[in-house]
Structure 1
Amino acid sequence: MTGRPEPLFPLFGSLTQLDGVGAKTAQILTDAGTVKPADLLFTLPISGVDRRRRASIRDVIAPCVVTVEVTVGLHMPPKIKGRPYRINVEDAQTTFQLVFFHPRGDYLQKLLPTGQRRVVSGKLELFDGIAQIVHPDHVLPLAEAETIPAFEPVYPLHQGITQKTMWKATRSALTLLPDLPEWIDPGQKAREGWPDWAEALHLAHNPQSTTDLSPHHPARARLAYDELMAHQITLALARSRARRAKGIASRGDGALQARVLADLPYAPTGAQTRAIGDISADLAAEQRMNRLLQGDVGSGKTLVAMMALLQVVEAGGQGVMMAPTEILARQHYAGLEPLAAAAGIRLEVLTGRDKGADRAAKLAALAAGEISILVGTHAVFQKDVHFHDLRLAVIDEQHRFGVAQRMELGAKGRAVDVLVMTATPIPRSLALAQYGDMDVSVLDEKPPGRKPVQTALVSAARMDEVVAKLRAAVADGRQAYWVCPLVEESEVVEMTAAEERFKRLRAALGDDIVGLVHGQMPIAEKDAAMARFVSGDTRVLVATTVIEVGVNVPNASIMMIEGAESFGLAQLHQLRGRVGRGDAASTCLLIYQPPLSENGRKRLEILRETEDGFRISEEDLMMRGAGDVIGTTQSGLPRFRVADLERQAGLMAVAQSDARKLLHDDPDLTLPRGEGARNLLWLLEQDRAIRLISIG
C-alpha cells in the first residue's frame, strides 16, 4: 500500500481551492481542525432553516425565518447617529420594515432601490407591534432568488466563519468527489436501502427537511457505517495480525489449578468455568492470545486470572499481572497470595516503591525464574526488569490503557499472551469500538455467597439522622465507607470537602473511629489509612473516589455516597460494589442534595432497582453519551465525526462482522471490494490500518 490513491488527491488538497475560502478563512478553519476538503465533507449540517418562499409574512407566526417577495418602499435613514436605518417594504398582503445598523455610504440605496422588487429572507420579529426583519440573511433580485435553498443546512461554526462561507465551501468540495469502488457488502447495502458513497454525501449536505437530518436517514446511516467500518477494519487487521503472530503454546497438566480449586470454599460459577475454558484453549494454541475478560463488580475475575497464570506456570513459564496504581497492585497481591500459597508457588509484588537491595533481590529471582508470578504497576516494564520466560500478561482496568498501548505491549518483542480484565461493564457498542480487536469472555453471574446490597435514597436535609444511624451501626461492630461528593472544579476542592466531612464525623463518632483518604495524600499516608481500615482499627473511612476501583474490605457493609447526584451511574455502581463482600447484609445510601433534576432522579432510581452492571451501563450510555461513560480523554475511544454510538449502536456490531468477513475472504485487500476498503482507510485516515497492510 504505497501511498494515497490518486482519485483521493483533490480531497486532500488545499482549502483555498474551494469557493469563498481565501488564505485567512483557510487559516481559521485549519486552526479549528478542518485542514482539507475531506474534513469539510465530513462536517455535516446539525440543523436546517426552512426558507421556502411565502406569499406574505401573514403566512407565518413571528418570531421565525421567512422568505418573501417584496416591493421596496421609502428609506428612512436615522436622524441621530447610532439609531437604526429603516426601509418600508410591501409583500402581497401587508407592509413591514427591514432594519439595518451602521450601514456604509449608499450601500442600502444600491441593495434595495425604492420601487424595485426583491426577495428577502431573514428572521421576522415583532417590535412594539411592528413586524420587522433586522439584517436579512438574503436580499436578492428576482432573477437570482433561486439560489436561496428551500431548506438551508446549518453547519457547526467556529468564530470568524459564517454559514454563507460553509455553504459555498461545502458545495465546492462536493464537486471534487471521485467515483470510488464500493466497500460495503452489496447485500447489506441493498437491505438497508443505502445510497452510493458520493450520493450519500450530496444528500447529507442538501437536506430537504428536518427528517433528513436524523442519524437514521439512509444517507447519514451509510456515512456513519463507513466510519464504523473503517474503524473495525483497523481493529480486525490488528486482530488478524496478532493471530498470525507466533505465540508460545502453554499446555499445563492442571496440577496447580487442581490444588487451588480444592482449597476454595465453593465451586466456580458456570460463567467462570466457561471463561477459564476459553482462556485455557487460547493459551494452549500456537497463536498469541488477545482476550478481554469483562466482569461486573464481584463476579470473580481474580480466580479466572489466577487459573490462567497457573496454566503458564505449569507449562514452565512465568506470568505477570499489571494494575494501574500502587494501591491496586498491592490489593491484587493480597487477593492472589492465598491462592498462590495453596498452589505452592512464589508470588511477588513490584512497584515504583521497591528500591535498593530489596528490588535487586526481586529482579535477580525474577530473571532466574524463581518467581512464578509477578504483580505490579507499569514499573514491571522498566528496562532493568528481565523475566526468565514470560508467557502471559494480565492487565487490569483496561480502559486506562487504549488500543495503542496494547499494541506497544505486543511490540516489546515478547510473544506474550495478553488477558485484559475490566470491572467496568461496557455497553456492547462501546465494547466493540474499544475492544473490537480482541476476543471477549463475559462473567455475568455472581459467585455464591455474594449478598445483594440494599440501596436507598435519602435527602441531605436528613444528615443528622444518617449520622445517628451510622453511630449505631459502628457501635454494632460494622464498618462503613463515606464517599465525598465529586467536585468538578478540582481535586483540591474535593480534598477540602473530604477533610471537612472527616472533622464532622470525628466530632460525632470519636477521633479514633474515623480515617481519611484522598488523592492529594502522599502514597505512604494513604496506604497507612487504608491498612488501619482493613485491620478494623478505624470503623469509618472518609474518602474521595480513590476507593472506586478494587479495594476489598469484607467487613465493610455500609456505603454512604454524599452528593450522589454528581456521580455517573457506572461510577456509583463501582462504588456500591465495594460493599456486600462479606457475610453481613450490606446497605448503600445515596445521599442527594435536593432538588433533584428529572435526569438525576432517574439515575439514582435505576441504581435502586438493579445491581446488573450491564443494564446500568446501557442506561448510562443513553443518558450521558459515549464520551462521558468511559471518559473519552483516557479511553482510547475513537472520536467519530458522523457516527453516533448512542443512537446507532446496532451498526457497530454489523460493521464488526462485516470487517472480519471481508478480511477473511480477502486478507490482503486486493479484490475489488478490498480495493474499495483501501480507499476508505485512506479517506478516513486510518493510518494504523494502512501501516498494518503495508507491512502485511
Structure 2
Amino acid sequence: MSDTASPPVNSLLAPLLAGVETLKGVKPATARLLARVARGGRVIDLLFHLPESVVDRRYRPNLRQAETGRVCTLHVTVTRVIPPAPGGGRGKRPWRVVVTDGTADADLVFFSPHLVRRLEAGQDICVSGTLERFGDRLNMAHPDYLVPVARMADIPLLDPVWPLTAGLFPSQVRAAIRAAFDVFPPLPEWQDASVLKQRRWPGFEDALRTLHRPCDMPDLLEGDALVAASERARARLACDDLLAQQVSMAQARRQNRLRPGRAVAGDGSLRRIALSRFGHEPTTAQIRTLAEIDADLAAPRQMTRLLQGDVGAGKTLVALLAMLAAVEAGHQAALMAPTEILARQHLATFRKLSPVPVAFLSGSVKGKARREALTMIADGTARLVIGTHALFQDSVVFHDLALAVIDEQHRFGVEQRAMLGEKGPQTDVLVMTATPIPRSLLLTQWGDMLVSRLDVKPAGRKPVRTSLHALSAMADLLAGMERALARGARIFWVCPLVSESETSDIAAAEARHAALCAHFGEGAVGLAHGRQDIAVREQSIADFAAGKTSILVATTVIEVGVDIPDATVMVIEHAERFGLAQLHQLRGRVGRGQAESYCLLLHDTALGQTARRRLALLRETEDGFLIADEDFRLRGGGDLTGRRQSGLPDLRLASPLHVDMLLRLAAQDARRIVDTPPADAPPALRARIPAVSLLLELFARARAVRAIRAG
C-alpha cells in the first residue's frame, strides 16, 4: 500500500460512519445512551458493541414436562390474576398470575403491576424466562418476555445480551441494531481469501449478524451450531481489528523510515565525566541499549525508540547519557516527566552527574525563576532541560532541541507527546516506561517503535521478600509493624481507593489512615492520594522521606517516581484487586537501599484459585517481564496507567486470546499490504488494497502516523 493510496470511499461507508441518531426509530436521548455504551456515536460503533452472551429460548416444553432451572418459552392461558395481599411486613409483596397450558399450572410473579394490569383470565399469552419450583408450585419470576400469542414471533429463539448503561433497555439496543443492518452497505472483502477459506470465517457483515442477530441465520438454529459459528465470527472480527491496527502501524513505520532527520553524534567527552561521577560500571543491558540509541541518533532519520526497563534497571542513567550525546554534538536535549516529584528526582540525579548545567521548568516555577529558565532555554544556555507538562507550552521556545526524552510516556496524551517532539527541527524522540510490557502487548501497542529493553539490573540490589497475608490476620500484622517501627523501619501502606463507596468494600486510604493514626499516633502516619492538593501530597511524601512520619498511607500515586531508600516495608491492602504488573511496580518502591526489605500482600480470606496463583507468582519472582506476561495471559494487558486493569488498550474486538492467536497472522498480512510495491503485488493482493482502506476508516485508524511518531 503506497503512501498515496486512494482515500476511503466515504460514500459507500456513509451509512456506517453516520451517527446512530440517523437510524430509523432511534431518538436523540437513546442515541446518547447508545454512544456511551458503544464507546462511540457512529453506526459502526454500535455494531462493534458485541453481545456478551446469548440466551437460548428454543426450549418450548409443556409445563408438565418442563425442566426447572432453565430458560423456557411457554404458550399458556391466564386463569387468575392475584394482587398483593394486604398487610405489613418487610419488602414489597408480589402480584401473582396463575397460568396453565392444560398439562399443569404455574405462577408468574411480578413486583411491578405494569404488565399485570393488562392481563385477565382466559387470555392466551406467550412468556419466556427461567422456570423454577418453589414447594409444589412451578414459578417464573419476572418473565423476560410476555406477549400475546399472535406476537409469539417477537420472542427470539436466540436472544443476544448486550452490555447496557443506566436508562438503556435491551429492546432499544435490539431495535437500533436491526435498523443498522437495514442500512448496511455491501462491502468488498479485505481479508485474504485463503485465510477465510482455511479458517471457515464468515464475511464481515455475516460475522456481525451471527453475533447480533443469530435468528437471521437459519443454519444457526439447529443444535449447537451457534457456538462454533460465534467463535468463528468473533475470531474474524478480532482479526479485522488487528489487521486495521497493524496496517496503520506499518504505514507509520514506512513514513518513519522515509522521514528525514539529522545525524547527531557526540564525542563521548561529557559522558566520560558523568560515568566517573556515577562511580559504577554500566550493566551489559545499559551498554547495549545505549549503543542502539547512539546508532539511531547518528542515522540521517528521526528516531522513535521505546526504552523499556523494569524497576531499578537504570533507565535514568541511559537517558542522561543519550542526552549528553546531543549536547556533545552542540544541541539541546529535554526530559519530560508526568509529575513534579518525578521531574525533581530526575533533576537531582542529573545535577549530581551532569557536567553541564541543567534547567528546570514546571508549573510551580514562577516569576523571576521562570523568566530566567525560559531565557536560558531559548538562547541555548540551557543544554539540558528537565520539566513537566510545562515544557510543551507555547511560551517555551528551544534554541535547538535535538532529543526529547519522555518518561512514563503512557501518562501523557499523544498530542502532548507530539507537542514536545515538535519543539525542535527533526527532533529525535526516546520514550521510557518502567511498566513491564508483555511481549504480546508490546507488539500490539508499540509494534512500530524500535524497542530497547533493560533486562539486567545493576549489581548489589537486594531482593524484596514478598509474603501473602489474609486480612483477617490484621492484629498480627499490626504487631509485626510495631516491631519493625521499633527497629527504625519506614512503611508504605497502599490502598486502592480514596474514600468508601457504596459499590465497593475495599478499605479506603482515608479510613485506613484514620485507623493507623488511632493505633500508632497521628504524628507517625502520613497520607498521600490523588485528590489532595499537589503541594499537600508532596509535603506528605517529603515528610515520610525525611523520617518525620514512619508510615505513609497512599493510593497508587506512589507507583512510580517515589525514591525513598530508607523505606523498607510495603503493605498492599486488597492486593488481589490490582494487576500483577502494578503490584510489581509498587513493590519496587522498597528495596532501594542497603537494608533488607519486605512486601506484604494483604488479601481477602476467601481468595479464588486464579487470584491466589497470581499473587503466588509475585511472591516467587521479581522478574517484571515474566510477571507482565503472566498478567497479560490471565487478565489482558489493561490500561498501562493502572486505572483499567484488564482488557486490551486500543483494540475494540480482539481479546487477549485473539491477540495471542492472530497477531502474527495480521502483522504478516499488514506487511505484505504496505511494503509490497503495487507493480509487484499479485492481482489478489492489489485488489484488496481499496477494501483495506475502508477497514482503516471503519476502525478509525486514519491518524496513526502522528500517534506513532509521538510514541
Task: Indicate the residue corresponding to 2:67 in structure 1.
Answer: 61
Deviations 1:361-407 (A, max 9, x none): 33333333232211111222233333221100111111111334333
- Aligned ranges 1:148-167 → 2 under 5 Å: 149-158=156-165, 162-164=169-171, 166-167=173-174
**1:197 corresponds to 2:204:** yes
Is the partner of 1:90 in helix, strand or coil?
coil
Distance in 2 separating the partners of 1:249 and 1:188: 43
Partners of 1:667 and 1:418 in 2: CA distance = 32
Structure 2 residue 254 is the aligned partner of structure 1 residue 228 = no
| Residue 358 in structure 1 maps to residue 372 in structure 2 | no
Q: Match of 1:41?
A: 47
The aligned counterpart of 1:330 is: 344
Alignment-derived partner of residue 423 in structure 1? 434
Alpha-carbon shift at residue 51 of structure 1 (Å): 2.4
Structure-to-structure mapping, 1:470-481, within 5 angstroms: 470-474=484-488, 479-481=489-491
In the other structure, the counterpart of 1:115 is: none
My pick for the range that moved more, 452-461 or 202-211, is 202-211
Q: Relative to structure 2, which stretch is displaced further, 21-30 or 169-178? A: 21-30
In structure 2, how many angstroms separate the alpha carbons of the residues matched to 1:645 and 1:348? Answer: 43
Structure 2 distance, partners of 1:296, 1:691, is 27
CA distance in 1, matches of 2:600, 2:640: 22
Q: What is the rounded CA distance, in whole Å, between the counterparts of 2:645 and 2:390 in structure 1?
A: 20
In 2, are the aligned partners of 1:47 and 1:154 still within 8 Å (CA)? Answer: yes
Unpaired runs of 5+ residues, structure 1, are 113-117
Q: Which aligned pairs between 1:68-467 and structure 2 lie closer than 5 A?
A: 75-76=79-80, 84-90=96-102, 94=104, 112=124, 121-133=128-140, 137=145, 149-158=156-165, 162-164=169-171, 166-167=173-174, 169-207=176-214, 208=220, 212=226, 217-261=231-275, 264-340=278-354, 344-412=355-423, 414-458=425-469, 459-467=473-481
2:145 counterpart letter in structure 1: D
For residues 390-444 of structure 1, what are the alpha-carbon distances to aligned partners after superposition, in whole Å with 9 as ceiling and x for unaligned? 1001111111113343334344564211111110112234434443442221112
1:133-163: CA deviation from partner (whole Å, max 9, x where unpaired): 5657265769x86775543333334566654
The verdict on how the C-alpha distance between 1:64 and 1:634 changes in structure 2, with shifts beyond 3 A counting, is: closer
TM-score, normalising length from structure 1?
0.82
Deviates more, 1:21-30 or 1:451-460: 21-30
Q: What secondary structure, in the 3-state scheme, does the structure 1 residue paired with 2:436 have?
A: coil
Give the AA of the match of 1:226.
D
- Would you say the 8 A contact 1:319–1:390 is kept in 2? yes
Residue 218 of structure 1 and its aligned partner are, at CA, apart by 1.5
> Is 1:203–1:219's contact at 8 Å kept on the other side of the alignment?
yes
Q: What secondary structure is seen at the aligned counterpart in 2 of 1:682?
A: helix
Partner SS state of residue 291, structure 2: helix
1:348 Cα deviation from its structure 2 partner: 2.9
State the AA in 2 paired with 1:88.
T
Deviates more, 1:377-386 or 1:54-63: 54-63
* 1:32 Cα offset (Å): 5.2
Could you tell me how far apart the structure 2 residues matched to 1:464 and 1:279 are?
48
CA distance in 2, matches of 1:320, 1:556: 30
Cα-to-partner distance string for 1:436-486 (whole Å, 9 max, x where unaligned): 442221112222222211122343221343134214432xxxx42332433
1:487 is displaced (CA, Å) by 2.8
In structure 2, do the counterparts of structure 1 residues 393 and 27 end up closer, same or farther at CA, with 3 Å as the change threshold? closer
CA distance in 2, matches of 1:385, 1:658: 43
Tell me what 2:693 maps to.
678
1:542 aligned residue:
552
> 2:285 and 2:136 mapped to 1: Cα distance?
71
Question: What amino acid does structure 1 have at the position aligned with 2:237?
Answer: L
Matched residue type, 1:252: G
Q: 2:495–2:553: 8 Å Cα contact kept in structure 1?
A: no
Q: Which amino acid aligns with 1:609?
A: E
| Post-superposition CA distance 1:291-328 (Å, at most 9, x none) | 11111101111121122112111211111111111111
Cα 1:289–1:654 change in 2 (3 A) is farther
Select between 446-455 and 621-630 the one with higher mean Cα deviation. Answer: 621-630
Counterpart in the other structure of 1:7? 12
Q: 2:624 aligns with which of 603, 608, 613?
A: 613
- Cα pair 1:554 1:579 within 8 Å, conserved: yes
8 Å CA contact 1:499–1:516 kept in 2: the answer is no
Any conservation in 1 of the 2:63–2:101 contact (CA below 8 Å)?
no
Structure 2: how far apart are the matches of 1:390 and 1:605?
47
1:494 aligns with 2:509: yes
Describe the shift of the 1:236–1:634 C-alpha distance in structure 2 as closer, same or farther (beyond 3 A). Answer: farther
User: 1:178/1:494 Cα in 2 relative to 1: closer, same or farther (>3 Å)?
Assistant: same
Q: Is the 8 A contact 1:401 1:636 kept in 2?
A: no
Taking the aligned partners of 1:10 and 1:549, their CA distance within structure 2 comes to 46
3-state DSSP of counterpart to 2:282: coil
Whole-Å Cα distance in 2 between the matches of residues 409 and 380 of structure 1? 7
- When structure 1 is superposed on structure 2, of 179-188 and 559-568 the one drifting more is 559-568
Q: Secondary structure at the match of 1:456?
A: strand
| Counterpart for residue 562 of structure 2 | 551
Amino acid at match of 1:232: Q
**Conserved in 1, the CA contact under 8 Å of 2:391 and 2:420?**
no
Kindly tell me: are residues 566 and 95 of structure 1, through their superposed partners in 2, closer, same or farther at Cα, counting changes over 3 Å?
closer
2-structure distance, mates of 1:362, 1:36: 46
Q: Secondary structure of 1:380's match?
A: helix
Letter in 2 for 1:665: T
Contact 1:399–1:635 (Cα < 8 Å) also in 2: no
Letter in 2 for 1:674: I
CA distance in 2, matches of 1:635, 1:99: 38
CA distance in 1, matches of 2:225, 2:643: 29
Q: Return the offset for 1:63.
A: 3.2
CA, structure 1 residues 35+628, in 2 after alignment: closer, same or farther (shift >3 Å)?
Answer: closer
Matched residue type, 2:375:
A
Closer, same or farther: CA 106–238 of 1 in aligned 2, 3 Å: closer
Cα distance in 1 for residues equivalent to 2:518 and 2:117: 71
| Alpha-carbon separation, structure 1, partners of 2:108 and 2:513 | 59
One-letter amino acid of the structure 1 residue matched with residue 137 of structure 2:
I
Percentage of pairs with the same residue: 42
- Structure 1: distance between partners of 2:601 and 2:284: 33
AA partner of residue 62 (structure 1): T
Query: 1:411–1:655: structure 2 CA closer, same or farther, 3 Å change rule?
Result: farther
Unpaired stretches in structure 2, ≥5 consecutive residues: 1-5, 86-93, 215-219, 502-506
Q: Contact (CA 8 Å) 1:271, 1:442: kept in 2 or not?
A: yes
Aligned to 1:585: 596
2-structure distance, mates of 1:294, 1:153? 42
Equivalent residues of 1:516, 1:542 under 8 A apart = yes
Aligned to 1:483: 493
Instruction: Tell me whether 6-15 or 158-167 shows the greater mean CA deviation.
Output: 158-167
- How far did residue 329 of structure 1 move? 0.9
Does 677-686 or 307-316 show the bigger shift?
677-686
